């Protein structure tokens, strides 16, 4: 199939051709016709599958064919809400590229920088607004942005927005928009909370699930290392020195974890950059640019800071801290082994993270191969202690139940009836 088969107009096809896109991806093939038919859509699609074009192209086409011929100031007709600044900027860049042969205009607004420059652009009038929730609501309160003319609302990376606590902001934004509007919800993962939220927000949505959870991980060589938590850094250094090569993305759960690992790797002579929510926009963009330009080969990030960032030619993903949501694991390792290339994921599991491994393997429907031949492997004694703890806990629970039942029977025999 070609993009011309999706009933896109000539200005859009010309822009697509100049970006050297030849054939649409699965998410684009399934989503574009639904959006053009003005359906509400819930789509599950990983980063790197072309999901931005899946909503940007049909939105531009719908707005292009219904452009206001009056020379009055433009009104915002499409709103794309994104959880992070980096993702919002990337979305706007794609809208700019695709709309170059139309008269449609877009801009992006986000926090962390001066609001004055954003106000000036908005006052001139635009067709499409890409925004992070906090800055968008600030501009609405100041009456700089009017959402009463919105025809299409897109919620991108919905799972991350809920994880970041934006659910109330999204509800406020929805109420500021007209009741009659088209809503498109995209999410890298579809945990139950996202499904519940989507069903309450969208009426009669079409469901698009691009890739099954199992098939997403089949192209990646997955390896699991059981290691005591205090030895995770030593294991990481050992593998980076002896085994792991190429461009590496390391995931840590917290900002402090990212910073601590960065300092250790820098002291040991590795070239490293980091991404987390406490960094300024300029520092985050600079870190990403250095990694993409091969000035450094290791990027350490939290899930929140890295979401939506499309990194090509990624050789290795290291799960330094295992995620407590199994779908997040699938999303992480799906960043490597793209476009037919090879990729490997290394997951470090301490005793307290074993329950996460169980959930992950249930989700991907296979066991992750365990590497036992390494200097920091869990010793048999540690495994036995962990096993004994579980047995003792079960025994205590069982004894407690028996004691309660005996006490209950004894009390029943001695209890005096009042009648």
Number of H helices, E strands in the chain: 17, 13
What is the side-by-side order of every strand in the sheet holding 248-251?
A: 220-226, 343-349, 316-319, 248-251, 298-301, 272-275
Alpha-carbon separation of residue 50 from 144, 263, 327 (angstroms): 32, 35, 19
CATH number of 3-211: 3.40.50.300
Supply the pLDDT for residue 135: 96
Supply the pLDDT for residue 189: 77
Report the C-alpha gap between 418 and 415 in whole angstroms: 9
Helix (H, G, I), strand (E, B), or coil: what is residue 122?
A: helix
Supply the pLDDT for residue 212: 46
Helix (H, G, I), strand (E, B), or coil: what is residue 70?
A: coil
* Secondary-structure breakdown of the chain: helix, strand, coil percentages, each rounded to the nearest 5: 50, 15, 35
Homologous superfamily of 214-379: P-loop containing nucleotide triphosphate hydrolases (3.40.50.300)
Among 121, 145, 148, 125, CA closest to 134: 145
Provide the greatest CA pair distance for the chain: 91
Report the C-alpha gap between 311 and 147 in whole angstroms: 33
Supply the pLDDT for residue 165: 87
Residue 391, H or E segment: helix 380-414
Asked if domains 3-211 and 214-379 share a fold, the reply is yes
Among 318, 183, 313, 194, CA closest to 244: 318
Supply the pLDDT for residue 330: 85
Among 276, 240, 270, CA closest to 258: 276
Pairing of strands 316-319, 343-349: parallel
Domain ranges of the chain: 3-211, 214-379
Supply the pLDDT for residue 381: 55
Supply the pLDDT for residue 339: 61
Supply the pLDDT for residue 211: 59
The sign of the dihedral angle between the CA atoms of 140, 145, 150, 156 is negative
Among 18, 106, 104, CA closest to 61: 104
Other beta carbons within 10 angstroms of residue 395's beta carbon come to 10
pLDDT per residue, tens digit, the chain (419 aa), is: 889 899 999 999 999 999 988 899 999 999 999 999 999 999 988 767 789 999 999 999 999 987 654 556 789 999 999 998 888 988 999 999 999 999 999 999 999 888 999 999 999 999 999 999 999 999 999 999 999 999 999 999 898 888 888 999 999 999 999 999 999 999 887 878 888 899 899 999 999 988 544 444 567 899 999 999 999 999 999 999 999 999 999 999 999 999 999 999 999 999 999 988 777 777 888 888 899 889 999 999 988 767 656 677 789 999 999 998 887 888 888 888 776 678 999 999 999 999 999 999 998 889 999 999 999 998 755 555 555 555 555 555 555 555 554 544 444 444 443 32
Kindly state the DSSP code that residue 4 receives in the 8-state scheme: G
Supply the pLDDT for residue 315: 92
């Amino acid at each position: 199939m070609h993009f011309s088969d999706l009933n896109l107009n000539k200005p859009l096809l010309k822009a697509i051709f100049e970006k050297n896109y030849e054939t649409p991806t699965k998410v684009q093939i399934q989503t574009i016709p639904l959006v053009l038919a003005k359906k509400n859509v819930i789509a599950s699609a990983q980063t790197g599958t072309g999901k931005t074009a899946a909503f940007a192209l049909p939105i531009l086409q719908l707005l292009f064919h219904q452009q206001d011929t009056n020379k009055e100031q433009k009104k915002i007709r499409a709103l794309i809400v994104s959880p992070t600044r980096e993702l919002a900027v990337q979305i706007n860049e794609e809208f700019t590229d695709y709309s170059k042969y139309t008269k449609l205009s877009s801009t992006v607004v986000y926090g962390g920088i001066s609001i004055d420059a954003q106000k000036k652009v908005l006052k001139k009038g635009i067709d499409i607004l890409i925004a992070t929730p906090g800055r968008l609501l600030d501009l609405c309160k100041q009456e700089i942005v009017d959402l009463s003319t919105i025809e299409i609302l897109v919620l991108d990376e919905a799972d991350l927005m809920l994880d970041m606590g934006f659910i109330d902001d999204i509800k406020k934004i929805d109420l500021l928009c007209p009741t009659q509007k088209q809503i498109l919800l995209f999410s890298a993962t579809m945990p139950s909370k996202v499904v519940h939220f989507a069903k309450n927000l969208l009426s009669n949505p079409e469901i698009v699930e691009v890739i099954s959870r199992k098939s997403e991980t089949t192209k990646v060589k997955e390896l699991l290392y059981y290691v005591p938590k205090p030895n995770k850094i030593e294991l990481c250094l050992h593998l980076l020195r002896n085994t792991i090569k190429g461009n590496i993305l390391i995931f840590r759960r917290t900002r402090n974890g990212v910073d601590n690992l960065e300092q250790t790797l820098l002291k040991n002579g590795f070239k490293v950059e980091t991404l987390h929510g406490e960094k300024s926009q300029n520092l985050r963009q600079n870190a990403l640019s250095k990694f993409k330009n091969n000035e450094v080969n290791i990027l350490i990030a939290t899930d929140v800071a890295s979401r939506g960032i499309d990194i090509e030619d990624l050789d290795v993903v290291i799960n330094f801290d295992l995620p407590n949501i199994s779908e997040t694991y699938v999303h992480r390792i799906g960043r490597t082994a793209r476009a037919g290339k090879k990729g490997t994921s290394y997951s470090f599991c301490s005793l307290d993270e074993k329950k996460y491994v169980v959930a992950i393997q249930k989700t991907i429907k296979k066991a992750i191969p365990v590497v036992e031949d390494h200097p920091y492997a869990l010793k048999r004694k540690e495994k036995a202690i962990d096993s004994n703890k579980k047995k003792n806990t079960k025994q205590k629970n069982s004894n407690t139940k028996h004691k309660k039942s005996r006490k209950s029977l004894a009390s029943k025999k001695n209890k005096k009836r009042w009648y």
